[in-house]
A and B are shown apart, each in its own frame.
Chain A
């Protein structure tokens, strides 16, 4: 299976989305870009785990998924009220 080219392809996608994070006119735009990047990073970590036959990469992906979820919720709460 060509797992490594798929991981590079996803990295290119992350680069395209990163432009939106820098450009984004409003702050929620940047937050949406960040959340999309988080999902793509999780997927590419799982694919790297399959490419190198390392289970530890997939464990890192699970922890990253849960932590990025908490981060997104915190930033959303901050945007909602203007303070923590």
Chain B
């Protein structure tokens, strides 16, 4: 029962952060701030949503015991979570570098240190 309550809390946190990502993509002014909303919030939200799936399947696995089919689901969900955690920040870094090199300027920015460094 305690595991059930924690699963519900995780689901609420995960859904909240995924909605924040969707809203932030519309509210922020330029690419770099949108990247901030779009990648960080979805990574955090997916940790909690997949964590809820893992928790529920671990609960069923412990209740059934031994080699229940839930064991496969648990381990594969953990592998999917690790894949998201490894690939999402890396692709965010690649996208921001590509945006800066293709000439998109930050909105309302006064100082651009990276541009100054490239000219030197």
Chains A and B belong together in one complex: yes
A55-B76 in contact (CB<8A): yes
Interface of A is mostly: helix
CA distance A66 to B84 in the complex (A): 8
- Count: A-B pairs, CB below 8 Å: 146
B18-A65 in contact (CB<8A): no
Which of A32, A42, A73, A76 has a CB less than 8 Å from the CB of B38?
A32
Measured between beta carbons, the chain A residues less than 8 angstroms from B46 are 39, 42-43
Q: Mark B1-25, 1 if CB is under 8 A from A, else 0.
A: 0000001000100110011011101
Measured between beta carbons, the chain B residues less than 8 angstroms from A26 are 31, 99, 104
Chain A nearest CB, measured from B85 CB (Å): 10
B80-A46 in contact (CB<8A): yes
Measured between beta carbons, the chain B residues less than 8 angstroms from A82 are 102
Q: Could you list which residues of chain B lie within 8 angstroms of chain A, going by C-beta atoms?
A: 7, 11, 14-15, 18-19, 21-23, 25-26, 31, 34-35, 38-39, 42-43, 45-46, 49-50, 52-53, 56-57, 69, 72-73, 76-77, 79-80, 83-84, 87-88, 90-92, 94-95, 97-99, 101-102, 104
